[in-house]
Structure 1
Amino acid sequence: MPANPSPRTPAWPPKSAPRLFVEDTLAEGCTIVLEGPHAHYLGKVMRAKVGDTVILCDNQTGEWAGRIGQVAKRRIDVTASERLRPREEVPDLWLCAALLKKDRFDLVLEKATELGVAQIQPVVTRRCVADKLNADRAITIITEAAEQCARTALPQIVEPTKLDNLLKNWPEERTLYFADEEGGGPVTNTFVEHSGPAAILIGPEGGFDDAERNAIRSLPQAHPITLGPRILRGETAAISALSVWMAVCGDWGKSDHSGKE
């Protein structure tokens, strides 16, 4: 009989290791004190113990493997031991999304983060059902989404702005694609025709009114797109447009997504 094969060396860091974004700047050998929700998650939910591995990200230097050195009732100490990946370069794409009902806009924030946008700009239009955004809640949603999908760079989320202010201050070098329910260029072809910094503008549940549509179309950098023959909800339109852009112009075509140097 053949000899028993030698056991494989366990992968390190383990794929099951929890991932957390921290506010501290990470470096080899530094110890991070985790308190509050982070300590509760590791200690009570994950049942972490001394010696366990935790993946840490700081939105600055990248992703680090850390070891738990101390577990107390309300705090856990983790020491960064090895940088696994540098902070990733995300495609230069903004999502300018009209505010929706809370749960639906939460979905937009989550999926835009997972899909890899660089910036999220909430927009207030005449037909919006909301005109405010809970900033703390929004940051929590995008951070948890980034932890789940293994992003090392958090998207920037900016204060909501009215549509006319957005258009008035639009940067000259950035293409603006806007989903127009009254028709536009085929989405894939339109994306291919333009390169460089870009943004996708998605309207509210009731769509843009005529004055808003005319104002958008008058912007030289704006290009209307159609997302197909069916009427899409705002959150579906945002997810669909971002997915197509990432496939055509973004980073979905890269063969190596390890991010390792």
Structure 2
Amino acid sequence: MIRLHIPQPLSAGAPLAPTLDQSRYLTQVMRLKAGDALRVFNGKDGEWRVSVAEVLKKGVVLKAEDQVRAQINPPDVHLVIATVKKAALEFAVEKATELGAARIRLMTTARTQPQHLRLDRLDAIAEESAEQTGRLDVPPVDKPQTLAALLDGWDEGRRLMFCDETGGAPVMSALASYAPSPGEGGVPWAILIGPEGGFTPEERERLRSLPFTTAVSLGPRVLRADTAATTALTLWQAAIGDWDRADLP
């Protein structure tokens, strides 16, 4: 079943207007015609079955029929990642979306190399990944902040899993005490992944000194930033995430 993210209110009988690119995908790639069905979500109203009401020269009109899944909130974990090279960053955004990150926050550090960022491209990758993986929301991708500004404005109620290439506690043991009891909500988290050149000693010292930081090791090998992000999110999910939820697709 085709799934699209359409950020418009969803209710029975509501007309929906996909973007021009989405309309072309539906009619020229998937060859849908009036009366054909697909599913849409907007991040607020769950997933809906819709039908193609009308095919126009410059787009299509969809009609919302009925809700097939109620809204499900993603696990409360953010990925905070340095602005690494284009291919690696795009891979990290794609996999973070697949693994359930609620938000993707970009940062720059002392050793971050200048990059030409296209946030619209990263947003599109997150949207496409959400459509393909059954998510009912699309994680926003934030504009880059410096590490210092990020930490200065940090919500101390959100714990920070600092993936330190110089060493730290094994992830599973470090997170074990934070696993929520059945029926209880978990602690909000963020996972911090640095640049290709790693953090400076000063950055590392500040990160380790913060009361909300848990420094962890991702194993004996030095990982690329995109691999580290995927690995860290996977381990977080296995330790305290939502993989055991029965209401997910």
TM-score w.r.t. length of structure 1: 0.89
**d(CA) in 2 for partners of 1:143 and 1:179?**
26
Choose from 120, 125, 134 the match for 1:141. 125
Choose from 23, 26, 29 the match for 1:39. 23
| Matched residue SS, 1:67 | strand
Give the CA RMSD over aligned residues.
1.3
- The alignment status of 1:174 with 2:174, answered yes or no, reads no
**Aligned residue in 1 for 2:242:** 251
**Aligned residue in 2 for 1:8:** none
Largest Rg, 1 or 2: 1
- The alignment status of 1:61 with 2:52, answered yes or no, reads no
**d(CA) in 2 for partners of 1:95 and 1:71?**
40
Structure 1's consecutive aligned runs of 4 or more residues displaced over 4 angstroms after TM superposition are none
Q: Which runs of 5+ in 2 are unaligned?
A: 180-186
**d(CA) in 2 for partners of 1:75 and 1:104?**
34
Q: Which runs of 5+ in 1 are unaligned?
A: 1-16
| Matched residue SS, 1:61 | coil
| Matched residue SS, 2:92 | helix
- The alignment status of 1:216 with 2:202, answered yes or no, reads no
**d(CA) in 2 for partners of 1:139 and 1:175?**
25
Describe the shift of the 1:39–1:97 C-alpha distance in structure 2 as closer, same or farther (beyond 3 A): same
CA contact (8 A) 2:79 2:190 kept: yes
- The alignment status of 1:73 with 2:64, answered yes or no, reads no
CA contact (8 A) 2:178 2:240 kept: no
TM-score w.r.t. length of structure 2: 0.93
1:71-98 deviation per Cα after TM superposition (whole angstroms, max 9, x unaligned): 1222111101011112211111011111
**Aligned residue in 1 for 2:83:** 99
- The alignment status of 1:153 with 2:121, answered yes or no, reads no
**Aligned residue in 2 for 1:50:** 34
CA contact (8 A) 1:132 1:160 kept: no
**d(CA) in 2 for partners of 1:130 and 1:230?**
26
| Matched residue SS, 2:17 | strand
1:96-117 deviation per Cα after TM superposition (whole angstroms, max 9, x unaligned): 1111111110111111011001
Equivalent pairs counted in the alignment come to: 242
